Amino acid sequence: MRDVNRTGILIVIIMGTTMAGIDSSIVNISLPVMSKQFNCTLSEIEWVITVYMLSFSVLMPLTNWLKNRIGFFNLYIGAISLFTLGSLLCALSTTLPSLLVGRVVQALGGGAMAPTSMAIISYVFPARVRGAVLGWWGLGNLVGPAIGPTLGGILTEQFGWPSIFYINLPIGVITVILSFKYLDVLRSQPKLKLPFDLMGFTLLTVFLVCLQYGVARAEVLGISSPEILITLGVALVALICFVLLDRRQKAPIIDLQLFSNYSFVSCILVTISRAAALFGGLFLMPFLLQEQMGFSEGVSGLLILPNSAFMAALMPFAGKWSDKHGSREISMLGIMLLAVSMYLFSILDRGSDIWSVITAMTVRGLGMGLLLAPLNAATLSSVRPAEVTMASSVSTLMQQVGGAIGIAVLAIITQTTYNNHVLAGATSMRAHHLALREGFNISLIILLVTLVPAWFLPRRNVVLKDVDAHIDT
């Protein structure tokens, strides 16, 4: 094809993924403020995060089918538009249910951005430059989650929590306009009318929704209540049916043959447990900084900055290290540092100084920086080239599911611990501190257990050959 502006294409997809990445972390710092305005409990406000992650994960398996059916151009434009509309709905919300509806719409767009962007890069850029391009895209993909908490704290303190959603509107509109200018070349992409695995998608959706709902409601109703037992039972039945049905499908929504790959399964187990611990810990962090230690939203956001800075600084080094020496050792070091950070967070209280917070954030950033790139490299190198897109989608799906379950479980644990200490005569502030400490300790234990599957990560990351770009120079 002629007149392909690859730089413009890269800028457009970086803008989209960065915007979605910011939103994945910008909301956490505003949760205490939202909780007060909507007069809801910790277990209720966690749905602002959980419903986004759950909706995000439900859409993820559809991405591969959609890009073949409607093409990259329509899928990317649709994703950006939905995300921008969802942001507007969130900003205009006056109740918790209306905010949750906006978050679902956001997630329907956000869930398609990252895998679609990866597919566009593979489609547009030749193999000889694809690694460098993915590096730039990865940096943009990292910037969003890195600056989200700091930006969210400043915006919430100065303009109120709706501003964290309003900021997406101009970015989304500009991205759509630039998409029509630079991505127009993708309109000629061949479209494949693959059969849609409706039954598989339905069963997977039922499993994900029932699992998350059951875990979240267990804190209120009790794990032995009939409603929870029935809900979790439906989730189990849906999962079993999905697995049995997958073997009979010519084009399954998820190819379960991937899970016969020993190395891939090790990577996925690390991804799930890491996400459960870290998303749950990130959910608790603003409550520790603001309600226990008395920091404002803006200061809380700035205190998270060392975590982001060290994570960004170490990721390129960790990626190069894993290419040369494998992912196992450096990933395990990252997990251990993350476990240490959870211990440091657990001992913080109102009397702790600001340097104790900065130390904990720095250790967390070092651990994240050493773990993320090597784990992603190990995941993609553990499968055949034809399986990379599906493996990436499965990995992202498992990360979202693990994170959603981690948040729900830690919310249950902290709320139960709080209630028990209040009944035992502790003050509300003391009970809240002990509950948060328990949550961080659980995250620490999860990370230590993660060392077991991490030991089975590949010793060497094999660089797989790939096909050249579909768009000729």
Q: What's this model's pTM, rounded to 2 decimal places?
A: 0.74
Distances 377 to 315, 331, 457 between C-alpha atoms, Å: 12, 11, 11
Domain boundaries, the chain: 1-192, 195-250, 255-460
pLDDT of residue 247: 67
What are the two backbone dihedrals, phi and then psi, of residue 458, each rounded to the nearest 5 degrees? -60, 140
Let me know: does 423 contact 290? Beta carbons within 8 Å: no
User: What is residue 188's DSSP assignment?
Assistant: G
Residue indicated by tokens 């959609």: 66
CA atoms within 13 A on the CB side of 22: 21
Give the span between the Cα atoms of 423 and 331, in whole angstroms: 42
With a cut of 70, which residues of the chain have pLDDT below it?
1-3, 122, 127-135, 138-146, 216, 219-220, 247, 249, 385-386, 388-389, 459-473
* 57 backbone dihedrals φ, ψ, rounded to 5°: -75, -30
Enter the tokens of residue 68.
């073949």
Token pair of 118, please?
């990866």
Q: One fold for both 1-192 and 255-460?
A: yes
CB atoms within 10 A of CB 370: 28
pLDDT, position 336: 94
User: What's the pLDDT at 473?
Assistant: 47
- C-alpha distances out from residue 264 to 74, 91, 274, Å: 31, 40, 15
Nearest of 41, 351, 371, 311 to residue 149 by alpha carbon: 311
The predicted pLDDT at position 234 comes to 94
CATH number (1.20.1250.20, 3.50.50.60, 3.40.190.170, 3.40.630.40) of 255-460 reads 1.20.1250.20
Report the alpha-carbon distance of residue 216 to residue 280 in Å, rounded. Answer: 13
- In the DSSP assignment, the letter for residue 4 is -
List, in order, residues 6 or more apart from 232 with CB less than 8 Å away.
210, 211, 214
Classify domain 1-192 by CATH number: 1.20.1250.20
